[in-house]
Amino acid sequence: MAEYLSETTNKAGPVAAKEELLDECESIWKQMEECQSKLMLLGTETLPPSDAKLYLLMLQWKALTVDFHQWQKRNPELISTNPDVLLELGKEELQKVKNDLEMVLSIVQSKNKHLEEDLKREQQWYEEQKQMLETLNKIEEEVNSQDEHPSTESLKIGELNELKTKILKLKTFKKELLTALGGFLDEYFPCPERGENIKEKNSSAEPVVELITLQEILEMLINTLLATPHEPYITINESFWPPYIELLLRCGMALRHPEDPMRMRLQAFHK
């Protein structure tokens, strides 16, 4: 009879093993229900009128102590000794471990990607600073050589004067552009506090944050990009009017930080 049962179990495969495991679980559950019903039949003891809470705590402590000693003496037992059941359980555990490892791998790859992007930005900033340092060193060498040889300096006076003239023209043109841009922004994109924020001031008892103009936002973006090209992002706070932020993003003039939506930067048009 035992040989017949073993042959049928081996033929059934994983399906029979799973059914066998379910049967064993149901039998264990029935035993637990029988023990619970026996405990219910014992009834409850009448507590003494004085120190009832202390009495309940003592009973609970005794029960926990008994459970503690039993768990110390007990050795872990397998639910089933059937190799098919153990094989299926092992497969499930390995699949869970595989899924967890794949999730960890994807997180690590994402972090590595962000680190590579940061490294590229830092390397680009380093190259720019290196080129700037080389240019300054060349200028310093030329100035030193001019101090040593006054005759060569006299030959470049005309070039220096021409260069100064070009710089003055560029400064004048820059000032005109900024003035024209400021006038355009003041006319078509005024400070939102003048019109849109009046209702909010009248309805709220708390002091309203003063909103800044679109020109001030653009100046902050440009100055941050020029001052720290390796970290050109600015933080969006309550003084930024949301429609102006949305306008800059939709027009492609600004970009949000890939990880922090409350930070943005100016589009690098010079690259």
26-84 pLDDT tens trace: 888 888 888 777 766 665 555 555 567 787 788 888 888 887 887 777 766 656 677 77
**135 is a domain residue:** no
pLDDT at residue 235 is higher than 50: yes
Instruction: Write the CA distances from 133 to 137, 160, 228, 241, 270, integer angstroms.
Output: 6, 21, 16, 39, 20
**Proportion of the chain above pLDDT 70, given as a percent:** 76
Residue 158 to residue 87: CA distance in whole angstroms: 90
Stated pTM of the model: 0.37
**130 is a domain residue:** no
**Mean pLDDT calculated for residue range 183-193:** 76
pLDDT at residue 109 is higher than 70: yes
| Better-predicted residue by pLDDT, 126 or 38 | 126
The DSSP code for 268 is -
pLDDT at residue 98 is higher than 90: yes
**33 is a domain residue:** no
User: 201 falls in which pLDDT band (50, 70, 90)?
Assistant: very low
CB-count burial class (<10 Å; 0-12, 13-18, 19+) for 153 = middle
**173 is a domain residue:** no
State how many domains the chain has: 1
**What average pLDDT is seen over the chain?**
78
**217 is a domain residue:** yes
**117 is a domain residue:** no
**222 is a domain residue:** yes
**221 is a domain residue:** yes
pLDDT of the residue at 158: 73
The domain of 255 spans 210-270
Residue 224 to residue 232: CA distance in whole angstroms: 5
pLDDT of the residue at 90: 84
67's CB contacts (< 8 A; 6+ apart) are none
